[in-house]
A and B are shown apart, each in its own frame.
Chain A
């Protein structure tokens, strides 16, 4: 069916691929550069690119400037000023634990996404080409001039960067600054200046790639963010540190997508068709699964401040407040307007989802950016089980159980890798599941939704809004009990130990691999249940509810709701889902900017402890000194002065 393609068939595709790949490469180079020099992996790199495209659009199409001027201004605003701001953020994150670095840049992504959508709307803005399109014939293939220019730009950028690193002293300093900023400073080079330059270059690269992509796919923040994530695949090929390999990765992925797309276009299976555009995520995940972990070196974690422990409360305090809380939850449907009840129910479902995330993140110190993928598996399984005639509660249980192997799968990178690479792996995994499987018959199908009717239980008809609220409330309470049981159990203690010191746990004989698999399975189980309950609110689980962007927003919101196992998820769910029923927050403007608020709060929580530590390098360094004496060590017995 596919036949053997001739060179003439593939020629134009390869050319387009190289040109696309060049843009990905520029973007990926910026990402790797900033990560290498600051140790902060910028999940918002794509959002920076998107912002640049919008600013470009604003200046050129709305303010009617010439495109050259508009491009330079966009580069200046987003690339230079944005880069300098990002450097300040990364500086404040220098000693932050990995989870807070992730929270900060994910918060930035959520905030920028929401800001751009609020200003320019969610629909795609057509953006006409600014580079000349006139075709040239090369070796029997027509190539647009813009493709040439893009490729040339990418080559110049890569070669320039490569030479800069190889030849210039500042470039060498840039590679040295992550290794040991203090040592660099002792050699007469200011680490701050070096970092500033790195972030400026990195953001300019993101900015350029955003502007180059805009005419091709139109200006739409979600598309741009997603397309730029393709750069993660390229960065993964470069193992997040090697620049020439990263460039090659960009080109390989660009060509791969286009060629695969052409080759597979005859297929009728959606899964096979979607293979091509998802190539970068497959590459990313493959790197995370198969590349030896010693090659994936986490940058900038040599001197990390620990998170301050949460206060503990007396059992009476906890008991009484929980009772009050339960009472409040029970009377909600009786006092709230009927049209708000579904929002409260959704809030409860989100509380379960947030609980699953809090168990992973706060209790056991693992990071997951794909919680909604677990939820989606739960919701769709739930729908299929109901359609197959399973009793409602059994279907719900099956939803949770089916999500567990997914959790175990994600635990594999968690066993091999730690910190930032786990975050990147889960991020890629979430998008991969969404794009490869959401629309398959196994999940939501080509209707993008699956029916999830509400139950009749114990002879009661609970299909009404109030009835379903109470069903969800009881099940949420059960999930709370499950979380509390886990925390009280031996596993819970091991999980807390895992978060504090995996080394100590292993030194006392615990198999930490098993611990990690368990916590991911339990978290996925809870997320599966939460996803199924959420689907019940609308009585049809739809794909859009479980978008990966929700996973990101969740971690941003959870971050600023303290780090308690039960209370934090409820606060987070309330802020995220329920707050909008109140008059002030129902306002269209407020609603539009909620993501901005979440993003800012998340960044704030992440950078706050670092703001006071300007010039604290001495303190940080001291913790790093192989645990050698901090205080005056016990001096030997002879304490009298040797001589005077």
Chain B
């Protein structure tokens, strides 16, 4: 139904905080129309990689591209208006507003940046478009019955869905989801995964998913990238990743020396 959606390409990105190298020369490619997983133990640099993509932190080297367009040196709002959407690990909802208002404000924010006076008035055509998008997104995320509730009053699981719906409603061309299943129980996580798969199938959009929960990752992702100590230690299909010794070692820390990691990462790329 849509024009071709772009891929997201992260090319040799490094992020430093003071002396700490949080993300070290990470490259990944998340194609349109699929869900790509980004996993790794706590503190491996997953969220920082995300923030470098969306412009919340600035990478000290490397580049981020959406389709053919480079997003380097742009602020978060500009990257968003170019079509790169995201959700937050600690949900950033408009807590005093209703679910419907939350979801509608996603696309509305994006439209407001399209012309100089866009923040003041909304053309009727856009208003209808926003309403339609919000309605469809809430339906997709199965939160239509919550539309009049105040977002701040909802449970964690419901709030995750509201945040997803808000991102889905916006005319983004690629989505980054940061730990969307944290705080969800098993059933909610399953449902969340089904929604993601349906959404990608329908729109052809690509998603990059940072996730702890291996059950979600393994059920929705086609490719998985594994980070450890800020470096990419493995990538491959879901089955390959789950079977990989390197990944199990990363989680158990039993093998752990830097040299080994570097070696295995090299072979994974080769």
Contact = CB atoms under 8 A, between A and B. Distances in A.
Interface string A302-316: 000011011000000
Contact of B109 (A307, A489, A505, A631): A505
Contact of B120 (A490, A510, A637): A490
A627 B182 contact: yes
A499 B167 CA distance: 19
Interface centre among B78, B120, B215 (most CB of A within 10 A): B120
B105 A309 contact: no
B106 A508 contact: yes
Nearest to B77: A506
Interface in A473-499: 489-491, 493-494, 496-497, 499
B209 to A, nearest CB: 14
A509 B77 contact: yes
Interface in A598-644: 626-637, 639
Given A633-B212, A634-B186, A508 B94 contact: no
A145 B85 CA distance: 68
B135 interface: no
A567 B29 CA distance: 54
B109 A494 contact: yes
A511 interface: yes
Interface stretch (A19-27, A35-43, A191-199, A512-520): A512-520
A510 B94 CA distance: 14
B89 A497 contact: no
Given A493-B101, A500-B97, A507-B80, A631 B156 contact: yes
Interface in B94-118: 94-97, 101, 104-110, 112-113, 118
A501 interface: yes
Contacts of B105: 493-494, 497, 505, 508
Nearest to B120: A491
Nearest to B169: A508
Contact of B88 (A307, A500, A627, A636): A627
Contact of A489 (B120, B189, B215): B120
A187 B4 CA distance: 58
A307 B152 CA distance: 10
Interface centre among B75, B92, B109, B112 (most CB of A within 10 A): B109
Given A489-B121, A506-B80, A633-B213, A496 B94 contact: yes
8 contacts: A493-B105, A496-B97, A496-B101, A634-B188, A634-B189, A634-B213, A635-B186, A636-B214
A490 B170 contact: no
A168 interface: no
A503 interface: yes
A509 B80 contact: yes
B94 A500 contact: yes
B85 A490 contact: no
Interface of B: 54, 75-78, 80-81, 85-86, 88-97, 101, 104-110, 112-113, 118-122, 150, 152, 156, 166-167, 170, 179, 181-186, 188-189, 212-216
Interface residues of A, number: 40
A500 B95 contact: yes
Given A490-B119, A501-B95, 16 more contacts: A490-B122, A494-B105, A496-B96, A504-B92, A504-B93, A504-B94, A507-B88, A507-B92, A508-B110, A509-B80, A510-B119, A511-B113, A518-B119, A627-B88, A631-B156, A633-B184
Contacts of A307: 96
A510 B108 CA distance: 8
Nearest to A635: B186
Given A491-B119, A491-B120, A509-B109, A497 B54 contact: no
A633 B156 CA distance: 11
Contacts of A633: 181-184, 212-213
Contacts of A510: 77, 109-110, 112-113, 119
B146 to A, nearest CB: 15
A636 B113 contact: no
Identify whether the interface residues of A are mostly helix, strand, loop, or mixed: loop
Contact of A499 (B77, B96, B152): B96
Interface of A: 306-307, 309-310, 489-491, 493-494, 496-497, 499-501, 503-512, 514-515, 518, 626-637, 639
Contacts of B93: 500-501, 504
Contacts of A639: 186
B183 A630 contact: yes
A507 B54 contact: yes
A611 B95 CA distance: 23
Contact of B80 (A508, A628, A632): A508
B215 A636 contact: yes
Nearest to A499: B96
A503 B76 CA distance: 9
B96 A500 contact: yes
A259 B151 CA distance: 58
Interface centre among B75, B106, B107, B170 (most CB of A within 10 A): B106
B174 to A, nearest CB: 13
Given A497-B94, A515-B119, A636-B215, A631 B108 contact: no
Contacts of A631: 156, 183, 185
A496 B102 CA distance: 10
Q: Please name the 6 residue pairs, one residue from A and one from B, whose CB atoms are nearest each other, closest first.
A: A627-B90, A510-B109, A508-B109, A509-B80, A309-B96, A509-B81
B215 A634 contact: yes
A501 B94 contact: yes
Contacts of A503: 88, 92
B239 to A, nearest CB: 16
A634 B76 contact: no
Nearest to B167: A508
A489 B106 contact: no
Contact of B182 (A494, A496, A629): A629
A309 B101 CA distance: 14
Contact of B90 (A309, A490, A508, A626): A626
A628 B182 contact: yes
A615 B199 CA distance: 45
B76 A506 contact: yes
Contacts of A499: 96
A629 B152 CA distance: 17
Contact of B121 (A490, A497, A501): A490
A505 B88 CA distance: 12
Contacts of A493: 101, 104-105, 108
A493 B215 CA distance: 38
A307 B150 CA distance: 13
B213 A489 contact: no
A52 to B, nearest CB: 41
Contacts of B216: 634
Contacts of B189: 634
B109 A634 contact: no
A553 B190 CA distance: 54
Contacts of B215: 634, 636-637
Contacts of A508: 80, 85, 105-107, 109-110, 166-167, 170
Contacts of A628: 89, 182
Contact of A501 (B92, B108, B122): B92
Contacts of A309: 95-96, 150, 152
A634 to B, nearest CB: 5
Interface centre among B92, B104, B118 (most CB of A within 10 A): B92
Nearest to B97: A496
Contacts of B181: 633-634
A626 B185 CA distance: 19
Nearest to B89: A627
A634 B104 CA distance: 29
Contacts of B112: 490, 494, 509-511
A489 B110 CA distance: 15
A165 to B, nearest CB: 24
A306 B170 CA distance: 26
Contacts of A637: 186, 215
Given A490-B112, A508-B105, A629 B183 contact: yes
Contacts of A634: 181, 184-186, 188-189, 213, 215-216
